[in-house]
Every structure is written in C-alpha cells, then in structure tokens.
Amino acid sequence: MEQKRLAGEKSTEYIKDGMIIGLGTGSTVYYMIEKLGDMVSKGMKIKAVATSHSTERLAKTFDIQVVSIDEVDHIDLAIDGVDEIDSSFNAIKGGGGALFREKIVASLAKQVIWILDESKYVDAVGEFPLPVEILPFGYTHTLKRLNDHSLNPELRVVDGNTFITDNGNYIVDLHLGKHLNIREVIQKLNSVTGVLENGFFINMCDRIIVGSEDHVKVIDNPCKYGGNGAIGKYK
C-alpha cells in the first residue's frame, strides 16, 4: 500500500492550478485523489473528469469539482493506475473494469501519467489477464468466437454475479500469457463483432511513476515525452 501511496501522491506534483484533470480508477488512484482533495481544500482550483462512477463518488467526498466529459473541450492531464507495463510502454489496464472510459479520457488528455507499484513494471505484459469489454447482447457467441481465436476468454464474475461495467456491458478476461503477440491479439479482437474495447494501452502515456519500498521513480516515455502522438499505434 505504501508503494501505491508514494506513487499516487508524487503524481499530484504535476497538477497545476486551473487544469482539467482526468481521474483514473483504482486503489493507487485513491491516494492521488486524497492528496488532490487536500490541495483543493487549500485553495487550488481544478476541474476533474472521472473515469468511473466510483471515482466520481470518491472525488466528491473530497470536494473536488467533477464535470462531465462532454462539458470540457480538453483534458490537461490524466492520472491513472495500470495493471502491467513494460519498458516500451505497452500496458494492460482494466483490472477494475473501467478500461473503456479510461481509454477515452487518456486519448483526450494532453498529458497522461500512470502510477503504479514496482510489481507492475514487468519485462513483458501478458501475465495479467487482458480485460475486454463486450456487449451483453449475444455474449455467449462473442465468447465462443474469442475461444475459436484461442484467446482463452473468461467472463468476469464477481461475488457470483456477472460483472457489469459503468457502460452496462460485460468484461471478459483473456488469459494470454507473457509470450503474446500484441498486434495479432488486437487484430483478432477487432475482428470479433461484440467486442467493444480492449485493455491494451499501447504507448498511450507520457510518464510513469513507480512506487518502491522507500522511494518513487519517475520514468518518461522515451518515444513520446511531451506529446500524445502515438496513441493507438496498433489500432
């Protein structure tokens, strides 16, 4: 938890007065929002766009002004968690099921920062099951087609109930393993009607902040530091 706290709190140093901030989802983001709430209580003026209902509720408890994504014409900075990321900034997100909104917010943001504990900074992504948002209508057929592509799909069930996203859809977790070919998996996913979005976030962030036992490391994306040009490289 301390590693997440260190990363979350450090990320707030990039938040400046007047910014529109994209707030991610998850336990690491919690610490960023808690600290941001403190900054707001001391007079900082920002607006926030939330990537999930749970984040919206949390931000409001800290008196952070939350606006709808359609009320803003841009987002200055999005700060979010991540499930796995490698040194080429290939990432998997969506462990909390908010990947679709997280991807929309990240794609609109001028700058994207992800915060994580060091266990998530890996040599190759794929051990963490890839979350994929699918339409409930015809989901058994979608699952079958994903299975036909050898993508090892598992419908996400929480406490005995099918997990429902904030968009009213289902999540399928793909058990792919480390030796996956990202481009090939994305091509297969894009060929299946019923698949709405996948949890690959390829080269979408500008820097990561990695919390360790007693320090934080800031690693800038060598390919795109300062810009957002390479979004959707494999799409």
CB of 30 to ligand 5RP, least distance (A): 8
Q: Which stretch binds ligand 5RP (CB under 6 A): 78-86, 160-168, 187-195, 203-211?
A: 78-86
Give the DSSP H/E element, type plus range, for residue 189.
helix 182-190
Strands 109-117 and 75-81: parallel
Q: Which stretch binds ligand 5RP (CB under 6 A): 22-30, 136-144, 183-191, 216-224?
A: 22-30
| Three-state secondary-structure class, residue 226 | coil
d(CA 8, CA 54): 17
Binding to ligand 5RP in span 99-118, by CB under 6 A: 99, 102
Please say if 102 is a catalytic residue: yes
Within the chain, how many helices (H) and strands (E) appear? 6, 15
The verdict on 25 binding ligand 5RP (CB under 6 A) reads yes
d(CA 31, CA 58): 11
Q: Which stretch binds ligand 5RP (CB under 6 A): 10-18, 39-47, 74-82, 224-232?
A: 74-82
CB of 131 to ligand 5RP, least distance (A): 7
| Three-state secondary-structure class, residue 63 | coil
Report the residue from 22, 94, 126, 211 that binds ligand 5RP according to the rule CB under 6 A. 94
